[in-house]
Amino acid sequence: MASLVPYLEHPISAPVRQSSPAPPRSPRRPPFTPLPDVGRTVAYLACGLGHYTAILASLGAESVHGYDISPKMIEAAKAAYPSSSYANLHFDVADCSAPENLPTPTDPFDVVFAGWFLNYAGTEKELTSMFGVIAQNLRKDGRFVGVTTNAHDPWMVEDKKDFYGLDVDVLDKDYVAPDTGREVNFLGVEPIKAIADPYKVGIKARVTVHSEPPFAFDVFQFRHEVYERCAQAANLRLRWRPHVLPDDKRKDTPYWTEWVRRPTFSILEATLL
Ligand SMILES: C[S@@+](CC[C@H](N)C(=O)[O-])C[C@H]1O[C@@H](n2cnc3c(N)ncnc32)[C@H](O)[C@@H]1O
């Protein structure tokens, strides 16, 4: 499935845990390449204001069910996409971090999507539990597609300043998941303490978006091994997907050079084992 690949038009997304939701936006250019196989039914975890639920429907999904932990977000999504006009969009408040928080679907989804959600897991237990939600909601041959913080950035311990409209300040470059106390290197063996920081589980960072007014939110940036381990524990096979640059006049210029060196996000896909 090479289709659910975000363009880099919007390398950042809305803030998490913002105090009040931004006004609903009307659907505009999708951040995805066209989806020949978007799936008949889609669950969107951490759907925020619901913008991409509408886009997924416009790309071919028969129904999209958005869940978000924030009642304000869901209220705004329902206001923007009322059932009277959008009968195929459904929104519910739900904490998607644990399977028991969502109803066990009698008819699991073709696609589960989560943009900027997994990066809120601060422990392996939490990340495994989030993957458990995904596994619980996936049809046997369905697929999960997610966007999360860059799991492959060897320089993740270094701040990013004025980086395509945002700052990323590293709050904890020696982050060790408190539940396992584990630091792993690329091979998944015990770390050698003297080894450089990039070999740690990941970092905790504060992202500040240069909007008007600016806003900031905190994320975890775990290494890919952590994702792979947690996905497997939740009965999922995980694959990483490539980035695709927008096909516009910036493509053959140095515009994206730094972004490509240290992309802001990773794209992952998973299926049930
Ligand atoms: C950065 S926003 C992304 C919103 C949307 N996915 C997008 O890309 O526009 C993160 C969203 O995750 C939601 N969120 C955070 N923790 C959550 C949880 N445990 N369960 C469900 N939603 C959660 C927040 O309320 C917020 O709407």
Residue 28 has pLDDT above 70, yes or no: no
Under DSSP, the state recorded for 22 is P
Average pLDDT over residues 202-214: 92
94 has pLDDT over 50: yes
* pLDDT number for residue 70: 96
Distance 48 CA to ligand 1 centre (A): 5
Q: How confident is the model at residue 200 (pLDDT cuts 50, 70, 90)?
A: low
**C-alpha distances in Å from residue 256, one per residue of 29, 232, 253, 264:** 20, 33, 7, 12
Does residue 44 have its Cβ closer than 6 Å to ligand 1? Answer: no
Cβ atoms of 114 and 16 within 8 Å: the answer is no
Instruction: Check the CA dihedral 172-116-21-99 and report its sign.
Output: negative
Q: State residue 145's pLDDT score.
A: 95
DSSP β-bridge partners for residue 112: 43, 144
Nearest-angstrom CA–CA distance, 1 and 240? 11
CB contact at 8 A, 5 and 244: yes
Report whether 188 contacts 124 (CB < 8 A): no
For 34-38, 118-122, 193-197, which range has the lowest pLDDT when averaged over its residues?
A: 193-197
Determine the distance separating the centroid of ligand 1 and the alpha carbon of 138, expressed in angstroms.
19
Instruction: Order across the sheet with 160-163: list the strands.
Output: 160-163, 166-175, 202-209, 215-222
Query: Of the given ranges (56-65, 179-188, 240-249), which has the lowest mean pLDDT?
Result: 179-188
| Parallel/antiparallel/unpaired status of strands 215-222 and 109-115 | unpaired
The two tokens of residue 251 are 């493509």
Q: What are the phi and psi torsion angles at 169 (to 5°)?
A: -100, 125
| Whole-angstrom distance, CA of residue 67 vs CA of residue 239 | 24
Q: Does pLDDT of 195 surpass 90?
A: no
Q: 51 C-alpha vs ligand 1 centroid, how far in Å? A: 12
Neighbours of 194 (CB within 10 A): 5
Residues 85 and 35: their CA atoms lie apart, in Å, by: 23
Whole-angstrom Cα distance, residue 177 to residue 217? 19
Which pLDDT value is given to residue 140?
94
CA distances from 99 to 65, 128, 133, 224 (A): 16, 10, 4, 23
Best mutation site among 12, 68, 129, 206 for ligand 1 pocket (most ligand atoms within 8 Å of CB): 68
pLDDT for the residue 197: 43
As a whole number of angstroms, the distance between CA 268 and CA 4 comes to 10
Question: Could you give the C-alpha distances from 260 to 75, 249, 270, in angstroms and in order?
Answer: 36, 16, 23
Query: pLDDT tens-digit profile of 146-186?
Result: 999 999 998 888 999 999 999 999 998 878 777 766 654 44
Residues pairing with 56 in the sheet:
none
Which residues are 80's β-sheet partners?
Answer: none
How far is the centre of ligand 1, averaged over its atoms, from the C-alpha of 254 (Å)? 32
Angle 257-246-216 (CA atoms, 0-180°, nearest 5)? 70
Alpha-carbon distance 224 to 153, whole Å?
9
Q: What is the pLDDT of residue 225?
A: 87
| pLDDT of res. 181 | 64
State the pTM of this model: 0.83
Q: How confident is the model at residue 85 (pLDDT cuts 50, 70, 90)?
A: very high
Atom of ligand 1 nearest to the CA of 48: 27
Token digits of residue 165: 């409209």
Residue 143, pLDDT above cutoff 60 = yes
Predicted local distance difference test score (pLDDT) of residue 37: 67
Bridge partners, residue 203, by sequence: 221
